[in-house]
Amino acid sequence: MSGEILSLVMFAVACGVLLLGFPVAFSLAGTGLAFALIGNAMGTFDMPLLGSLPSRYFGVMTNELYVAIPLFVFMGVMLERARIAEKLLTTMGMLFGTMRGGLGISVVIVGMLLAASTGIVGATVVTMGLLSLPAMQKAGYDPKLSTGVICASGTLGQIIPPSIVLVLLGDILQGAYAEAQRSLGNWAPEPISVMDLFAGAFIPGLMLVGLYIGWVIIKSLIDPESAPALVEGKRPEGLWGEVLRALLPPALLIVAVLGSILTGIATPTESAAFGSVGATILAAFYKRLDMAVMRHVVRQTVQVSAMVFVILLGASVFSLVFRGLGGDHLVEELLHNLPGGVFSAMLVVMLLMFFMGFFLDFIEIVFVVIPIVGPILLKLDVDPVWLGVMIAINLQTSFLTPPFGFALFYLRGVAPAAIKTLDIYRGIIPFVIIQMLGLCLVAAFPWLATWLPSILF
């Protein structure tokens, strides 16, 4: 058996082991080491290649960009424990409460703000499910519409910066782009940064928010009983003051964090540190900060950050062995020989990631697939920022698609028994169609992803 065929078998085995529920990091590293030994016995893998792992690990530990991950996680968990979302949802619900679909619009807006502050899909979906689903049930919303809105809004954390997905994608695409340019003879390429990816994802993210709100409005016009008004008559006195008190502090924090990144005043890591301090101050301002909250926030931050970095280290072993077996050359030949050129190559990669998103978490896909296919696509003159945004939207879509979408499982876990699983599956279909429309729009009009970075940087 040749090394290339062995690499494909290794990829299939790794996916199978992950589907069986074994820990991700140890599954990737263990599969890689096992096939390294098999390849060495068959004469298709050189064991000294594994000697480069310590330098790779040291590079991860000294990468300043990765410091942003625990800081953004800390910021998001702190805002969640400060019950910012609950206050926002209550006041926004009253603001839009006199119009049909108003509560659904409020859920989308609050989901967008949570996405811009947490960047963690699971946390956002669970939080929105616990807070907004009972309110939507009480208001008489169609269960299909309410669950669909919550799941779709919760996954905005995949695409709206500052997103952990974009932080990881930016770093990996930066290395893939440099590798692709070196293979083409360009030894001094223009660097691609996470800031470019943040700017590139900003307009597509807002576009998806607008499409979600548009569908809620259309649904309320077509079927008024599915999205009734929350309150009748005039808004209560002093509502605008309540809205400003609930919306202004977190909005200012988000604008400060994103604005400092997009204007180049601060790096993502520096902005994440500022956001963490700002979230702690907000929690104290809302009188939600005590030792119990701090212990919970720190514990959650350590757990999520440890998961990300251990997976990264395990994926390094897997990708190194995959390349050592010649799997990258096999994938490159396959994509180059497809009829249709760049379009076919992008289509195949997008479909692969979409289906992998049914079974694997975004971190696993980013760490395993992007290092393999990224340099190959970038050699075909694909814009790296556009590619990163396409990948982020695609992964977001796979999170929503029945029957295996992770967001659906998160909501099912916190939804009351009165909400049927079939309601969740049926309710998400319009939003999956919206996601695919958004993906097609970004594919057809790449300037949606490339215009803002070209202006800012």
pLDDT, tens digit (0-9, with 9 covering 90-100), for 399-408:
788 766 778 8
- Give CA–CA dist 327/333, Å, rounded: 10
pLDDT recorded at residue 430: 92
The enclosing H or E element of 148 equals helix 143-154
Would the pLDDT of 269 be above 80? Answer: yes
Q: Locate tokens 């939600």: which residue?
A: 288
Residue 384: C-alpha distances to residues 10, 200, 391 (Å): 28, 10, 10
Is 1's pLDDT higher than 60?
no
- What is the chain's mean pLDDT, rounded? 82
* pLDDT confidence band for 442 (50 / 70 / 90): very high
How do residues 222-235 score in pLDDT, each as one tens digit?
Answer: 888 888 876 665 66
Tell me how long the chain is.
Answer: 457
Report how far Cα 75 is from the mean position of its chain's Cα atoms.
16
For residue 437, the number of C-alpha atoms closer than 13 Å in the C-beta half-sphere is: 13
More confident position, 118 or 412: 412
Token reading at 61: 């530990």
Show the tokens assigned to 244.
């400003």
The pLDDT score that the predictor gives to residue 234 is 62
- Tens digit of pLDDT for each residue in 279-311? 888 888 878 788 888 898 899 888 878 877 887
Distance CA 371, CA 389 (A): 16
User: Which position has the token pair 């799997």?
Assistant: 327
Confirm if 211 and 410 have CB atoms less than 8 A apart. no
Confidence of residue 312 (pLDDT cuts 50, 70, 90): confident
Q: Nearest to residue 65, comparing CAs of 217, 224, 197? A: 197
In this predicted structure, what is the pLDDT of residue 440? 93
**In degrees, to the nearest 5, what angle opens at C-alpha 268 toward C-alphas 157 and 311?**
65
In eight-state DSSP terms, residue 34 is H
Q: In percent, how much of the chain has pLDDT > 90?
A: 11
Average the pLDDT over 419-434 and give the result: 88
- The predicted structure's pLDDT at residue 46: 86
* pLDDT tops 90 at residue 441: yes
Burial class (CB in 10 A: 0-12, 13-18, 19+), 348: middle
pLDDT on residue 120: 62
Please report where in the chains the tokens 């609050």 appear, as a residue.
110
pTM, two decimals, is 0.81
b/e per residue 223-262 (b: at least 16 CB within 10 A): eeebbbbbbeeeeeeeeeeebeebbebbeebbebbbebbb
Mean pLDDT, residues 38-57: 85
Nearby residues of 133 by Cβ (< 8 Å), 6 or more positions away: 146, 147, 150, 411, 414, 415, 416, 419
Token pair 């919760």: residue: 154
